[in-house]
Structure 1
Amino acid sequence: MRFDLHQVLDSARDGVFIVGRDHRLVLFNHACEELYNVSRQDVVNKACWKLSDFEKSWKEAARAGGRISYGELGAKKERMVLPHKSGKQVWVETIYTPILDEENNEIAYVMGVIKDITELKDMEREKERLQQEIGKIRGELGSKYDFSSIVGRSAPIMQVMKLAAEVAQENTTVMLVGESGTGKELVAKAIHYNSRRADKPFVALNCSAFPETLIESELFGYEKGAFTGAEKTKPGKIQLAYGGTLFLDEVTEMSPATQAKILRVIQEREFEPLGSVKPQRADIRIIAATNKDLEALVKKGQFRDDLFYRLFVYPIVIPPLRERPEDLGPLIDHLLEKFNHDMAKRIQGISPEALGMLKSYHWPGNVRELQNVMERLMILSKGEVIQVEDLPRYVVESMKLNHSREPETNDGIPPGFSLEDTVNQFEGRIIQKALKQCGHNKSRAANLLGLSRSTFRYKLSRLKGFENRN
C-alpha cells in the first residue's frame, strides 16, 4: 500500500506546513486550514517569511565560529492567538524545524508544526491563579499567626512571645513545654510563619494519636510492599514538611525505637522510609512540645537523654491560664468577637457577676477549656449579655466552694490548706454525681456538665491521679 505525503499529513491532528527555498509555501495540511481558517488554495505557492528568519540565525551562529546543531535550529517556536472559524480565539504554538540540503548543507525547507494549546494556556492561567491564591493564603496565615495575634499582655505571655520571636529566624530546634490547652501549637505556628521557612509547609503530628506500630509509618512514610497492605508508596510527615517545619506534639509518647530514629533525623538530617534502603534528605525544622516533666522522664529512663539534649536546645515554657489571670479579660473579649462572627450572633458582652465567676475559676483545661466554655455560652445565651445562669454549673459550684472554703476569721489561711486539693475534691464530687446520674455514660455526663468530651476526659484523668496520690 502506497502513501501519498499530502494524504498522510492531512490525517495529522496538528497543523503542518512547509516553506520552500523560494520562501513560498509548498504544503499546508487540513489541520492548518482549520486553525488558520483559510483554504490551502489561497496560501500554497504564496510568499512566506519564515525561511529568511532561519537563514539569519544560521549565518549569525556560523560567523560566531560555532557549529550549528540540528536541534538548536529546531528549538525555534512561537505562540500566538488565532481567530478560529468557530468564532472563538485559539492559542497556537508553532515549532519550526529546518530541512537541510545534503549537497550544500544549506536550508532547503522549513517545516512548521502547529498545535492548538488553548487548553494548555487555560491550565497555565489556572496554575498562575492558584499560585497567587496560595501566596495570598500564606500571607493571611502569616498575619493570622503573627506574634501580635497571640492574645494576652501579661508578663508571662510577653516573655513567651519574646523568646519565640528571637528564635523564629533561626533554624534552631525548639521545645515548647506547657499544660494541655495552653496554646503550644499556636506558638509553634507563630514561630514557623515568622521564619524564613514561612512559605513552606507546617506539618503537625500528635505522637499520642498513633499506636507504636503506626507512628513510624506516619513519620517516615513507606515504600510500596514494605509490609502487608502497603499497596503504594506513601510519604511521611517528614517528607511532607520538606523545607518547612515539623511540629511533634506530645513528643514524650514516642517509643524508644522511634526516639532513636528521630535523633538520627536531627543529627544527620536524613531518614529512610520503611522498606527503603536509600536515605532521604530531611530539610526540616523541628519544633517539639510536651505537657510532661521531660527531665523527670529522662531520670526514670523513659526518655532518651541524648534526644532530650537535642530537643532542649531552646525551651520555651508556656504558662497555664491560672498564672496569668490578667489575660482572661482580653481572651474573653477576643472569643466573643470570634464567635459572634462565626455564628452570626450579636452577644454584646458578659455581666460583671458572670465575668467575676469566670475570673475566679481555675481553668485546669487552660485556654482550650475557656474556648469551649465561651462557645457553649454563645449557643445557650438567649439575651445580648451572658448572665450567671448561662454559666456551666461546675464553674458556678467552684465559685461557691471557694467562698465556703475561705477562712472565716481574720487570722489568714489556716496551716495545711490546699486550694488545689480543695478544688480537686469538689470537681471529683461533681463528676461522680454526673456519672451516676447518666448511668456512667461519659459522653452524657460531659454534656450534662457543659464540657467537651476531651475536657471531661482530662478532668477525669486528673481526678484519678489525685485519688491515687491520696
Structure 2
Amino acid sequence: MQRVVIIGIGDDGASVYSLLKNIEDVKIVCLFKTGAEKKTVDLWTNENVKILDIEKLPEIKNIDVIINTVGSKEVNNFIKGISGSVSVVETSAVNIMLRLFREKEELLQIKRIQGELSTILNSVQEAVEVADNNGVVKYVNPAFTRITGIPGEQRIGKNVFDISPDGALAMALKTGKNIFGHRVRVGGSNAEVVSNASPIIVDGNLEGAVVVFQHFTDVMKLMDELRHHTTMIENLYDKLGQVTTCKYSFADILGNSPDLKKSIQVAERAARSNSTVLLLGESGTGKELFAHAIHYASSRREKPFIKVNCAAIPENLLESEFFGYAKGAFTGATKSKIGKFELANGGTIFLDEIGDMNLILQGKLLRVLQEMEFERVGGNQTIRVDVRVIAATNRNLPQLIRSGKFREDLYYRLNVVEVTIPPLRVRKEDLPILVNHLIIKLNRKLGKKVKGLTPDAEEVLYSYDWPGNVRELENVVERVMVTVDEDVLSKKNFIQHVSQLKTTPERDMELIPIDRMEQILISKALAKYGNTVEGKRRAAQALNISLATLYNKIKRAKFENSNV
C-alpha cells in the first residue's frame, strides 16, 4: 500500500486526487495547501480528506510518495529539504499524468455522446444516412431500412454518387449547401421520399453530409391530417367568435306594473319547458331582454345563446346564415361554414324580427322546427340539432297571414307560448325605477354624478307616450346627461328633446264648449292613469291642476263612471 500526500488543492491537485482516490493500492494520507494558491478549501467540502498547511508536512510519518502539483520555487525547495528518502513526483511529471488523465476523461465523454447520439438516431422515425466528404456512406439508422427496404450492411460503404446521384445527400456534398424538401426516389429501391440534407462542416472544411427523409406517402398523410386539423381549428374559431352566452336574467327586467309582471310570469313558466316562445311587442319594449332571461332561467343556460336578426341579413344570405354552407356551394365558398342553428345546438336560438322573413325560408324554418334537421347550402349531409327557438316580432302576424306574407303553419309552430310585452305608455308607473337605473348606468359610462330628476322633469316624462318605448327613454336620458352639467335634471333639460318628438302635424279640430273640452281631457287623463288615488294624482299633474281641483271638477261634472 503506497501512502501518498498531495501538495496543492487547486484544479491540478483536485485532478490528481480524482485520479488516485479509487486505486486500491494507493492511500491518500492528506492534502497540503500553500500560500501560493488562490483556491480555498471550499473546493473540497464534499471530500472526506484532511487538508493541512504545508508547514505541517514534516509531522506526517511513513510517507511513500509526495506529489507536488504546485510550480512554486519556494514550495519545491521546502519539499527537497525535508523529503529525505521519500519519492517526490515533480510538477513536470504531474503535468504528463494530468494530460493522460484528461485525455481519458475526454475519450469517455466522447463515447458517452456517441452512445446517446446512436440511441437517438436509432429511435427516430425518419431515415438518417451519413456520408463522408468522398460520398462513402458511413452510417444508416434502422428507419432507413424500414422505409427503403435496404439493409444497413448493403448500404454502408457504398458511394452515394454511384447509387443515388440525384439524391439530396449527393447534392449537399456537391454544393456544400442545405437542401430542403427534395422529392426523389431512393437509389436501389422503389421508395419515393421527401428529404432534407445538410453538409457537415468542421473548422471550415467539408467533412461529409447527412440526409433525413420520410416516405412521400407518410408526408402526404401528415399534410392531409394537417389540413383536416386546420379546417377543424378554423371552424372552431368561427364558432367561438359567433357563440354568445345570455347576458340578462329576469332580475334585469325592471318594473312593477301589473302588465309587465304578468308577462314575466308567463315567460318564467315558459323557461321551465323546451317549448317554442313567441315574443310580441313594439320596438324597444325589451323583447331581446326577455329572450336572454328565458334562456338563463332554462336548463340550457350553460349552452350557446345565438341571436339572428332576420331583418338585418339580406334575403339571399339568410339561408346560409341559418344553416351554413358546404365548401364549393357558390363562388368564394373556399371552406365550409357552420350555420346559426348548428352553432346553437344544445342551446337557444333567438330569431328577432321573424315577421320580416321571406316565405321560402319560412318553409325551411318550419321543417327545422318540426324535424330538428337540415342540410347546409350546397351540401347533402343531414345535420340533426337540439335547439330551443325563441322568436320575436313587432309586426301583426295574423294580419301578415291574411295578406299572404306569413305562413299560418309556421305561426302556429312558433306561437306555442306567446308572451306579449307591454309598451311603456301603459306602464308609466315604471318610469321612476327605469330612469333611476339609467342614471346609475350612464353615470358610470359618462363619468357624471347626476343624482336624479326634479318633479317637473318627471312630469315631462309622464306626459309623453314614448312610441320608442324603453329604448327611446334611454336615448333621451343619455342625450340630456351628455349635454348638461347639472347634478339634478330639470324640466328645461328634457322639454326640448321630448317636445321635438311629440310634434305632430296640425289638424282641424271641431270647436266645442270649453267645459265640454275640460270633461274630455279629464276623462282621457283618468283613462290613462287610472281611477286610483295615485292615478288621479298623476292625472292632476298632467292637467296642471291640483288634486283637490280635479276632485271638484269630477264631482261637478257628475262622472258616473269615475268610481269616486
TM-score > 0.5 by shorter chain: yes
Give the counterpart of 1:203 among 306, 316, 336: 306
Contact 2:309/2:353 (8 A) holds in 1? yes
Contact 2:325/2:379 (8 A) holds in 1? yes
Alpha-carbon deviations, 1:439-466, whole Å to 9, x = none?
Answer: xxxxxxxxxxxxxxxxxxxxxxxxxxxx
With over 3 angstroms needed to count, the CA separation of the structure-2 counterparts of 1:158 and 1:301, relative to structure 1, is same
What is the CA-CA distance between 1:148 and the residue it aligns to?
2.0
Amino acid at match of 1:328: L
Output aligned runs, 1:75-90, within 5 Å.
none
With over 3 angstroms needed to count, the CA separation of the structure-2 counterparts of 1:408 and 1:145, relative to structure 1, is farther
Contact 1:373/1:392 (8 A) holds in 2? no
What is the CA-CA distance between 1:149 and the residue it aligns to?
1.7
State the match for 1:378 in structure 2.
481
Is 2:280 the counterpart of 1:177? Answer: yes
Contact 1:250/1:289 (8 A) holds in 2? yes
Amino acid at match of 1:355: E
Is 2:117 the counterpart of 1:7? Answer: yes
What is the CA-CA distance between 1:256 and the residue it aligns to?
1.0
State the match for 2:333 in structure 1.
230
What is the alpha-carbon root mean square deviation over aligned residues?
3.1
Number of aligned residue pairs: give it: 290
Output aligned runs, 1:132-281, within 5 Å.
145-281=248-384
- What TM-score do you get using the length of structure 1 for normalisation? 0.57
Contact 1:197/1:243 (8 A) holds in 2? yes
Alpha-carbon deviations, 1:383-420, whole Å to 9, x = none?
Answer: 11112232262413577999x9998723246889x99x
Contact 2:460/2:495 (8 A) holds in 1? no
SS of the residue aligned with 1:396? helix
State the match for 2:528 in structure 1.
none
Share of identical aligned residues, percent?
45
Is 2:519 the counterpart of 1:409? Answer: no
State the match for 1:282 in structure 2.
385
Q: Separation in 2 of the partners of 1:326 and 1:372?
A: 19
What is the CA-CA distance between 1:252 and the residue it aligns to?
1.2
Amino acid at match of 1:200: K
State the match for 1:308 in structure 2.
411
Amino acid at match of 2:313: F
With over 3 angstroms needed to count, the CA separation of the structure-2 counterparts of 1:274 and 1:401, relative to structure 1, is closer
State the match for 1:88 in structure 2.
none
Q: Separation in 2 of the partners of 1:397 and 1:201?
A: 42
Q: Separation in 2 of the partners of 1:384 and 1:358?
A: 18
Q: Separation in 2 of the partners of 1:395 and 1:268?
A: 49
Q: Separation in 2 of the partners of 1:285 and 1:228?
A: 33
Q: Separation in 2 of the partners of 1:415 and 1:373?
A: 30
What residue ranges of structure 1 are gaps of 5+ in the alignment?
15-133, 420-470
Alpha-carbon deviations, 1:64-107, whole Å to 9, x = none?
Answer: xxxxxxxxxxxxxxxxxxxxxxxxxxxxxxxxxxxxxxxxxxxx
With over 3 angstroms needed to count, the CA separation of the structure-2 counterparts of 1:370 and 1:338, relative to structure 1, is same
Output aligned runs, 1:399-438, within 5 Å.
409-412=514-517
| Greater C-alpha radius of gyration | 2
State the match for 1:292 in structure 2.
395
SS of the residue aligned with 1:231? coil
With over 3 angstroms needed to count, the CA separation of the structure-2 counterparts of 1:256 and 1:145, relative to structure 1, is same
Q: Separation in 2 of the partners of 1:381 and 1:387?
A: 10
Q: Separation in 1 of the partners of 2:520 and 2:427?
A: 26
Contact 2:476/2:497 (8 A) holds in 1? no
Contact 1:357/1:399 (8 A) holds in 2? no
Is 2:451 the counterpart of 1:348? Answer: yes
With over 3 angstroms needed to count, the CA separation of the structure-2 counterparts of 1:150 and 1:407, relative to structure 1, is farther
State the match for 1:129 in structure 2.
none
Alpha-carbon deviations, 1:297-355, whole Å to 9, x = none?
Answer: 11111111110110111111111100111011110011011111222211011111111
Q: Relative to structure 2, which stretch is displaced further, 337-346 or 280-289?
A: 337-346
Q: Relative to structure 2, which stretch is displaced further, 162-171 or 380-389?
A: 380-389
Q: Separation in 2 of the partners of 1:400 and 1:258?
A: 40
- What TM-score do you get using the length of structure 2 for normalisation? 0.48
Alpha-carbon deviations, 1:4-26, whole Å to 9, x = none?
Answer: 87533245899xxxxxxxxxxxx
State the match for 2:4 in structure 1.
none
Higher RCO (CA < 8 A, seq sep 6+): 1
SS of the residue aligned with 2:302? coil
With over 3 angstroms needed to count, the CA separation of the structure-2 counterparts of 1:321 and 1:408, relative to structure 1, is farther
What is the CA-CA distance between 1:169 and the residue it aligns to?
1.6
SS of the residue aligned with 1:209? coil
Amino acid at match of 2:309: N
With over 3 angstroms needed to count, the CA separation of the structure-2 counterparts of 1:226 and 1:383, relative to structure 1, is same
Contact 1:223/1:233 (8 A) holds in 2? yes
Q: Separation in 2 of the partners of 1:256 and 1:399?
A: 37
SS of the residue aligned with 1:315? strand
With over 3 angstroms needed to count, the CA separation of the structure-2 counterparts of 1:9 and 1:269, relative to structure 1, is same
Alpha-carbon deviations, 1:7-66, whole Å to 9, x = none?
Answer: 33245899xxxxxxxxxxxxxxxxxxxxxxxxxxxxxxxxxxxxxxxxxxxxxxxxxxxx
With over 3 angstroms needed to count, the CA separation of the structure-2 counterparts of 1:10 and 1:286, relative to structure 1, is same
Amino acid at match of 1:8: S
Contact 2:345/2:385 (8 A) holds in 1? yes
Amino acid at match of 2:269: E
Contact 2:368/2:374 (8 A) holds in 1? yes
SS of the residue aligned with 2:345? coil
